[in-house]
Amino acid sequence: MAPKTSPEVGGMGHSVKRKEDPRFIRGKGTYVDDVVLPGMLYLDIVRSPFAHAKIKKIDASKATAIPGVLAVITGKDLEKYNLHWMPTLMSDTQMVLPVEKVMYQAQEVAAVLATSRYAAADGVAAVEVEYEPLPVVVDPKKALEPGAPVLRTDKKDKKDNHIWHWEWGNRAETDRAFSEAEVTVKQDIYIPRIHVASIETCGCVAHFDKVEDKLTVWMTTQAPHAIRTVFALVAGHVGLAEHKIRIISPDIGGGFGGKVPVYPGYVIAVAASVLTGKPVKWIEDRMENLQADSFARDYHITAELAAKKDGTLTALRIKTLADHGYTDAAANPSKFPAGLFHVCTGSYDLKAAHVEVDGAYTNKPPGGIAYRCSFRVTEAVHTIERMADLMAHQLGMDPAEFRMKNFVKPEQFPYRSALGWEYDSGNYAGALRKAMDMIGYADLRREQAEKRQRGELMGIGISSFTEIVGAGPSKHFDILGLKMFDSCEIRVHPTGKAIARFGTKSQGQGHETTYAQILAEELGIPAKDIKIEEGDTDTAPYGLGTYASRSTPVAGAAAAVASRKILDKARKIAAHLLEVAPEDLVYEPGKFSVKGAPNRAKTIQEIAFAAYTNHPQGMEAGLEAVSYYDPPNLTYPFGSYICVVDVDKGTGEVKVRRFVAVDDCGNIINPMIVQGQVHGGLTMGFAPALYEEISYDEIGNVQGGSFIDYLLPTAVETPRWETGHTVTPSPHHPLGAKGVGESATVGAPAAIANAVVDALWHLGVRHVDIPITPPKIWRLLREKGVTE
């Protein structure tokens, strides 16, 4: 679709260069660790070497004797203010600092406050803690066995480690479909614990001004407004009031979901600043980040798929055990303890489905947040896409043909899934066909057959995913009761330039550019003349923040709606200036003209000037609008990815030779940025497919707790991504857009896993859990007698 606006205006569809870049390429961004205030103190944290232990004694005397160390803060200090525990977003509770026992390795034990970063670290090393180790529960299955040590002894009536049971769908209908099925497949799938590992870790500078009673916190947060309210609710009793809390989310060095939760370090820093009246900086290091911040995934899934002999899918049944660590600190909308996992019927027209999930406590860090994905959607997509491939292979059908047969058809939209979602729009076959054409699917299958003759291992994997993003309609979606709307406030200045502020917060997605393009599209004001601001709760309108690909679907929609409010007023002003009735005007971006007399026109800049200098009698001056947008539905981006792998028989190494990604995110705001989001998302799909995992030994020692063994892909391993797109607009979004930041992370792992299994299927391999590491494959090849 050709853009509606000129490149000078830079509305939707233009690859406008990013407004953020000039400061970043000069090293002039302002990230939280760049904030320095006069008299600022540094906070560092003592962490537990044990996964489960009683704290018998904390001796701070050697630490406080170190020059520069001012105080050592323990749980007992916070207990005086009832701040030693805090609520999680899922209505569970989490320790800020422990009073009795620690529940995972690297848990916060005490905090050292000092005049410098180095003195604080010295203090941490000098704090002596006496522990009494307790039995450790690492495996969530064992956690639920009778007789397992009960971990949450803080909960008076808790007699086991079961957190919750959640189920969705029609069990009886699904069971019946399975009992009548001609073909079924069943598979255990483990989706391991991983970490977003944004290159900037988490941290804050908390500054409590005792004169003004005002708390300002510069903080690595994706949701500054919600954080302000949480602080007011949790710490109201110690004198913090919401009008005197200001959260500033500065430039953020990657978020991906990891900067949604409130971590204990933030709370301790705030408490320390309130108590001392001095600014306090807390910046975690990489090991703290990987070992203690919220993890993602950790789903133990058993999935079953039923079909007719001709390949028509009939039913899906899933049981899952969710390992949440010692507390459920997931960041899901309140009503959805397993997030949107029930989008697991995926792109297929399944008539019956049932899914159940049980949460378990273990001696691991808390979490269950996203890893660059809408709530639990990767888990859902990985399951259905692996199962679809398993069924196709089982039936001896080509996986592409099998998918084509079972896709929800374009004419079925809006489509109500067996698990109750209303998919807005889609053309799944279109995306898959395009991906097959781009990669040369038929030729690859021929090549694979030839190679197999020669004993070479080559696989082709498909993933045809459907995402569910843009939370969400207020009827169903809230976080701690806060409805998941988002906002945009626009002010057009007298000279026709504008500023717009949003309730979201970019972490690299380029909102300063894309939001300006939305306004340019609607108002015709050049994008370069529009300043975008986010992240300061004293100035920006309230919103729920940026995660789950919700910025474009929700705040982007708010930008369009607020723009249209501006245009309503602009039309009246133009009518006044041109001395015609408002309905006698026609609008094109940036200009109202008189019907039939196109030369009689007023530009948006002229109208803006008149709004302050010559507005009609009886009309208020100014040209401003605000929208708090409550989406009528979620959006459902989709795509098809095809991946070709070669497996080294000697080493078990999997090499991704080609990877084609066709995405459909509806109407595109900035093609360059969309492609960049897909590249990044694919790399964060590739990473857990082949490299990343945080695991624990039997006594709860973390494996994968630093970049030494938590392997982020470098430029050498990362494939040269090939991207394409189709455009199926969302019918309910004002701009027809859907959101794209996470699609590729959600869709990519299954394509890679499917390709590996495809390469090994003839040897009898049916499934490989991610990450697909060389030792895992090497062992499989040995088992199958391929490698000696």
Partner 1 sequence: MLVKVTVNGEKHEAEVEPRLLLVHMIRETLRLTGTHIGCDTSHCGACTVLLDGRPVKSCTVFAVQAHGREITTVEGLEQDGKLHPLQEAFMAEHGLQCGYCTPGMLMTGVAFLQKNPKPTEEEIRWAISGNLCRCTGYVNIVKAIQHAAATIQGGA
Smallest gap, in angstroms, from Cβ of residue 566 to partner 1? 30
Select 494 or 713, whichever has its Cβ closest to partner 1. Answer: 713
Query: Is the sign of the CA dihedral 362, 105, 701, 366 positive or negative?
Result: positive
Q: What residues have CB less than 8 Å from 3, skipping those under 6 apart?
A: 11, 12, 13, 14
Per rule CB under 8 A, is residue 7 in the interface with partner 1?
no
Per rule CB under 8 A, is residue 657 in the interface with partner 1?
no
- 633 near 739, Cβ under 8 Å? no
Within 271-351, strands assigned E span 280-283, 295-307, 313-323
Select 195 or 493, whichever has its Cβ closest to partner 1. Answer: 195
Taking CB under 8 A as the criterion, the residue among 1, 28, 132, 598 binding partner 1 is 28
Per rule CB under 8 A, is residue 507 in the interface with partner 1?
yes
Which value, in Å, is the radius of gyration of the alpha carbons in the chain? 27
Per rule CB under 8 A, is residue 291 in the interface with partner 1?
no
Q: Is 742 a catalytic residue?
A: yes
Contact set for partner 1, span 593-632 (CB under 8 A): none
Element holding 432 (H helix, E strand): helix 428-439
Q: Report CA dihedral (661, 663, 669, 674) to the nearest 10 degrees.
A: -30
Q: What residues have CB less than 8 Å from 395, skipping those under 6 apart?
A: 183, 307, 309, 311, 402
Q: Give the active site residue among 202, 204, 373, 643.
A: 373
Counting Cα atoms < 13 Å in the Cβ hemisphere of 310 gives 4
Of 352-360, 567-575, 580-588, 676-684, which part binds partner 1 (CB under 8 A)? Answer: 676-684
Select 399 or 639, whichever has its Cβ closest to partner 1. Answer: 639
Q: Is 222 a catalytic residue?
A: yes
Select 150 or 287, whichever has its Cβ closest to partner 1. Answer: 287
Per rule CB under 8 A, is residue 660 in the interface with partner 1?
no
Of 70, 81, 6, the closest CA to residue 40 belongs to 70
Per rule CB under 8 A, is residue 31 in the interface with partner 1?
yes
Output the CA–CA distances (angstroms, integers) from residue 528 to 16, 63, 241, 552, 610, in the order listed.
9, 53, 38, 19, 22
Taking CB under 8 A as the criterion, the residue among 79, 167, 285, 422 binding partner 1 is 285
Of 66-74, 525-533, 561-569, 708-716, which part binds partner 1 (CB under 8 A)? Answer: 708-716
Q: What residues have CB less than 8 Å from 757, skipping those under 6 apart?
A: 386, 389, 390, 393, 459, 461, 765, 766, 767, 768
Helices (H), 14-164: 21-24, 61-64, 75-79, 117-126, 140-143
Measured between alpha carbons, how far apart are the two ends of the chain, in Å?
56
Smallest gap, in angstroms, from Cβ of residue 105 to partner 1? 17
Taking CB under 8 A as the criterion, the residue among 99, 287, 397, 499 binding partner 1 is 287
Smallest gap, in angstroms, from Cβ of residue 605 to partner 1? 28
Of 745, 723, 754, 654, the closest CA to residue 402 belongs to 754
Q: Decide the pairing of beta strands 486-492 and 85-87.
A: unpaired
Smallest gap, in angstroms, from Cβ of residue 21 to partner 1? 4
Taking CB under 8 A as the criterion, the residue among 8, 21, 145, 180 binding partner 1 is 21
Of 234-242, 401-409, 452-460, 700-708, which part binds partner 1 (CB under 8 A)? Answer: 700-708
Distance (Å, rounded) from C-alpha 535 to C-alpha 538? 9
Smallest gap, in angstroms, from Cβ of residue 198 to partner 1? 6
Taking CB under 8 A as the criterion, the residue among 396, 411, 708, 788 binding partner 1 is 708
Taking CB under 8 A as the criterion, the residue among 102, 110, 252, 752 binding partner 1 is 252
Q: Residue 331's Cα: distance from chain center in Å?
A: 10
**Amino acid identity, residue 629?**
Y
Q: Decide the pairing of beta strands 41-47 and 280-283.
A: parallel
Q: Give the active site residue among 94, 105, 107, 222.
A: 222
Contact set for partner 1, span 141-200 (CB under 8 A): 196-200
Residue 610: left if φ>0, alpha if ψ -120 to 50, beta else—which one? alpha
Select 285 or 422, whichever has its Cβ closest to partner 1. Answer: 285
Smallest gap, in angstroms, from Cβ of residue 703 to partner 1? 15
Three-class SS state of 758: helix
Per rule CB under 8 A, is residue 528 in the interface with partner 1?
no
Smallest gap, in angstroms, from Cβ of residue 45 to partner 1? 14
Per rule CB under 8 A, is residue 43 in the interface with partner 1?
no
Smallest gap, in angstroms, from Cβ of residue 20 to partner 1? 7
Contact set for partner 1, span 709-738 (CB under 8 A): 712, 714-716, 718, 720-721
Select 508 or 700, whichever has its Cβ closest to partner 1. Answer: 508
Element holding 638 (H helix, E strand): strand 638-647
Select 2 or 708, whichever has its Cβ closest to partner 1. Answer: 708
Per rule CB under 8 A, is residue 510 in the interface with partner 1?
yes
Three-class SS state of 323: strand
Binding mask 452-491 for partner 1 (x = CB under 8 A): ----------------------------------------
Smallest gap, in angstroms, from Cβ of residue 689 to partner 1? 14
- 371 near 299, Cβ under 8 Å? no
Smallest gap, in angstroms, from Cβ of residue 672 to partner 1? 5
Select 19 or 300, whichever has its Cβ closest to partner 1. Answer: 19
Of 89-97, 335-343, 448-456, 681-689, which part binds partner 1 (CB under 8 A)? Answer: 681-689
Distance (Å, rounded) from C-alpha 417 to C-alpha 508? 33
Per rule CB under 8 A, is residue 322 in the interface with partner 1?
no
Per rule CB under 8 A, is residue 673 in the interface with partner 1?
yes
Select 499 or 672, whichever has its Cβ closest to partner 1. Answer: 672
Counting Cα atoms < 13 Å in the Cβ hemisphere of 707 gives 11
Per rule CB under 8 A, is residue 39 in the interface with partner 1?
no
Per rule CB under 8 A, is residue 323 in the interface with partner 1?
no
Smallest gap, in angstroms, from Cβ of residue 17 to partner 1? 6
Within 60-202, strands assigned E span 69-74, 85-87, 93-95, 101-102, 108-114, 128-133, 162-169, 183-194
Q: Residue 220's Cα: distance from chain center in Å?
A: 15
Distance (Å, rounded) from C-alpha 436 to C-alpha 642? 7
Distance (Å, rounded) from C-alpha 695 to C-alpha 706? 12
Contact set for partner 1, span 71-130 (CB under 8 A): 117-118
Taking CB under 8 A as the criterion, the residue among 256, 326, 421, 609 binding partner 1 is 256
Residue 724 pairs in a beta bridge with 662
Select 59 or 709, whichever has its Cβ closest to partner 1. Answer: 709
Of 128-136, 381-389, 410-418, 702-710, which part binds partner 1 (CB under 8 A)? Answer: 702-710
Per rule CB under 8 A, is residue 639 in the interface with partner 1?
no
Distance (Å, rounded) from C-alpha 662 to C-alpha 740? 12
Select 26 or 454, whichever has its Cβ closest to partner 1. Answer: 26
Of 186-194, 236-244, 332-340, 508-516, which part binds partner 1 (CB under 8 A)? Answer: 508-516
Q: How many residues bind partner 1 (CB under 8 A)?
A: 57
- 496 near 609, Cβ under 8 Å? yes
Q: Count other Cβ atoms within 10 Å, centred on residue 30.
A: 12
Per rule CB under 8 A, is residue 251 in the interface with partner 1?
yes
Of 187, 139, 136, the closest CA to residue 323 belongs to 139
Q: Give the active site residue among 246, 317, 372, 403.
A: 372
Active-site amino acid positions: 222, 372-373, 742
Report the interface residues with partner 1, using CB under 8 A. Answer: 17-18, 20-31, 33-34, 36, 117-118, 196-201, 251-254, 256, 285-287, 507-510, 672-673, 675-676, 679-684, 706-708, 712, 714-716, 718, 720-721
